[in-house]
Structure 1
């Protein structure tokens, strides 16, 4: 059995991983030559000189999410929520193991209109990278739905549940529209470039903030917290 302190430490990995990832990503993005926040996604920072920083960032964050899933399972967070958190973490590690291809002017020296899979060949590892990203967001979306259902049944959990529902609806919509439409059209249009850039900035927090919210919620309501509010148990099969 995991001790209360150990369980809370594992759960806290979710918040630490999410927040740490976003901070390091933005610091790296601000200092990497040629990287444009309104044009390039986090995955491109794995390429070129200094690319190891984001590779490590993704891998460490993924490992912390898997640790968080163990803490949630020990805290009685049901069956599917912790499992989906683990899949989410594993997919994050997968995105770092299989890096994407140079595109859209990054790293410097790459043609600004190059978009593998559209107007240039795509490598096998870039294809696996895309699959990992899709699994990551699918797991995040499903986890948001599962935890929202649990939180809704708990005292003081309705607002938390509402936030997760919004995340679960918005993430797949923004991802699909951005990745499969806006990004393709952005090659020849500044307006689509702007729209794609905005979608890219929205999808990043949607992919990580939810995990921090789940982690914080359980830290606030499991034994050992100052509030020590009891969790309302729902069907343990979820």
Structure 2
């Protein structure tokens, strides 16, 4: 015996799945930022003014940040799927998915220890860059580029106010990433990147929540 769902029930089921996917976009930022900050404030030798979140993957407790990268990468991919079900155009969700894959790769390929972290690591940059450190940087750069582009493309399908907010977020994140990519170890640059990451995650959370209401 075959059971056929009514069109109304099918639509309700589809809407529920879409909201569940978008809810992942709301959760991703708080999970990443709070997990990173708690580690940054409690792990011995880690300094928020000197060290990026990627270094938290190193050391005996590195599995926490590795898990953070993997979980938030999956949440971001789910959010991209949810956005693709609510907005026209394919490139915005695809670009956001690039960022999600970049997070997954960041969890698989660890950054090299440097600048005194973990404890016992010599000060300054690593004497040599490992293959996994290289892949971490490359994948991170590709993922960040995807996120920046996603801010502009997804924003183009939103209201004028949210479109401006999306563009501003993309510009701020680009500036934050450019600062750390330059190799600068200035506390202003490092803290600026932490702030840029928070701004970007806030954009994803608020955009996902907005689309859930729609």
Same fold (TM over 0.5): yes
Deviations 1:89-125 (A, max 9, x none): 1111001110010001100001122x13xxx110011
TM-score, structure 2 as length reference: 0.89
Q: Measured at CA, do residues 77 and 20 of structure 1 come closer, stay the same or move farther in structure 2, by a change above 3 Å?
A: farther
Partner residue of 2:92 out of 81, 93, 108 = 81
Deviation at 1:86, TM superposition (A): 1.2
Partner residue of 1:149 out of 146, 156, 161 = 156
Deviation at 1:214, TM superposition (A): 2.1
Q: Which segments of structure 1 move beyond 6 Å, counting only runs of 4 or more? A: none
Task: Indicate the residue corresponding to 2:174 in structure 1.
Answer: 172
- 1:124 corresponds to 2:128: no
Query: Structure 2: where are the runs of 5+ without partners?
Result: 1-9
Deviations 1:20-78 (A, max 9, x none): 11111111212111111111111000000111000001100000111111122222442
Task: Indicate the residue corresponding to 1:160 in structure 2.
Answer: 162
User: Aligned pair count?
Assistant: 203
Report the 3-state secondary structure (helix = DSSP H, G, I; strand = E; otherwise coil) of the residue aligned with 1:217: helix
- 1:58 corresponds to 2:69: yes
Q: Say whether the 8 Å CA contact 1:137–1:207 is kept in structure 2.
A: no
Partner residue of 1:205 out of 166, 174, 198 = 198
Q: Measured at CA, do residues 5 and 95 of structure 1 come closer, stay the same or move farther in structure 2, by a change above 3 Å?
A: same
Q: Measured at CA, do residues 200 and 70 of structure 1 come closer, stay the same or move farther in structure 2, by a change above 3 Å?
A: closer
TM-score, structure 1 as length reference: 0.80
Q: Say whether the 8 Å CA contact 1:38–1:201 is kept in structure 2.
A: no
Q: Say whether the 8 Å CA contact 1:182–1:195 is kept in structure 2.
A: no
Q: Say whether the 8 Å CA contact 1:58–1:93 is kept in structure 2.
A: yes
Q: Say whether the 8 Å CA contact 1:11–1:71 is kept in structure 2.
A: yes
Q: Say whether the 8 Å CA contact 1:12–1:216 is kept in structure 2.
A: yes
Q: Write the distance in 1 (CA, Å) between the matches of 2:205 and 2:143.
A: 15
Report the 3-state secondary structure (helix = DSSP H, G, I; strand = E; otherwise coil) of the residue aligned with 2:157: helix
Map 1:9-20 → 2, pairs under 5 A: 9-20=20-31
Q: Say whether the 8 Å CA contact 1:38–1:200 is kept in structure 2.
A: no
Q: CA RMSD in A?
A: 1.6
Q: Say whether the 8 Å CA contact 2:149–2:170 is kept in structure 1.
A: yes
